[in-house]
Copies of this chain bind each other. A is one copy, B any other.
Amino acid sequence: MTLTGPTTTTAEGSVTRERILDVAEALFAQRGLAGTGVREIARSADLTPASLYNHFASKQALYDAVIERGVRPLLEVIGRLPSREHTAEAFDDTIGAVMAHLASHPHLARLIHHETINGGDSLKGLVEHWIRPLIEQAQVEVRRDQSDYWSDDEAPLMITGWFHLVVGHFAMAPMLQEIFGEDPLSPHNLERQTRFLRKLSRLMMQDRESKDS
């Protein structure tokens, strides 16, 4: 009876809370906020709907918590790498890190897509803190390189472009699977995709040197 000990991790969340977040993440990613029922979430977490409300005030609050828990680490991954000398290598690292993070959180990208497609109220705050600095920094770097292939005001387009390329791959995995008959998120395919993106990045960066010469 007493062997089980306390079920709550005093740190931040009880195991139940975490379990709910896990299953909700998967379901919200699959079907979106509106398409996911509280009953469904509760059942997947081996709970009554009523019990779920002991941990989250509302479906929306749960959704926000899922987004928060998923996106914040991603932003931290991104924010950790930016300042380096050699842009190309640094960028390669960032791509790799982001790809790795998304790979180990298979629902994150679709979650982000869902949020992004409509106004993204739950995401807004987070993203502003994330994308805006990124763009400003990118602008600085583009300028520093005195690139004449890419102009300063194309920096935002490049950032969002990379966003589409990276997040898109994960978000659309179900459909790519349909089409190609193989899992785009398998280690092999992920490596291939990462390699592809690195080649592309090198193309975009190194080109300047060849132009400069």
Contacts and interface: CB of A to CB of B under 8 A. Distances in A.
Interface stretch (A6-14, A15-23, A89-97, A127-135): A127-135
Given A113-B117, A149-B199, A123 B32 contact: no
Contact of A179 (B31, B132, B158, B207): B132
Interface residues on A, range: 35 or more
A4 interface: no
Interface stretch (A69-77, A79-87, A166-174): A166-174
Nearest to A124: B178
Chain copies in complex: 4
Given A156-B180, A157-B196, A179-B128, A174 B34 contact: no
Contacts of A176: 160
A204 interface: yes
A178 B126 CA distance: 12
Contact of A127 (B153, B171, B175): B175
A106 to B, nearest CB: 13
Secondary structure call for the A interface: helix
Nearest to A35: B34
A210 interface: yes
Contacts of A113: 113, 117, 171
B120 A175 contact: yes
A113 B120 CA distance: 14
Chain B CB count within 10 A is highest, among A120, A156, A175, for: A175
Nearest 6 interchain pairs by C-beta: A164-B168, A34-B35, A164-B164, A34-B34, A116-B175, A157-B196
16 contacts: A32-B32, A32-B118, A34-B34, A113-B117, A115-B175, A116-B171, A117-B175, A120-B178, A131-B179, A154-B196, A160-B168, A160-B169, A161-B165, A164-B164, A165-B165, A203-B207
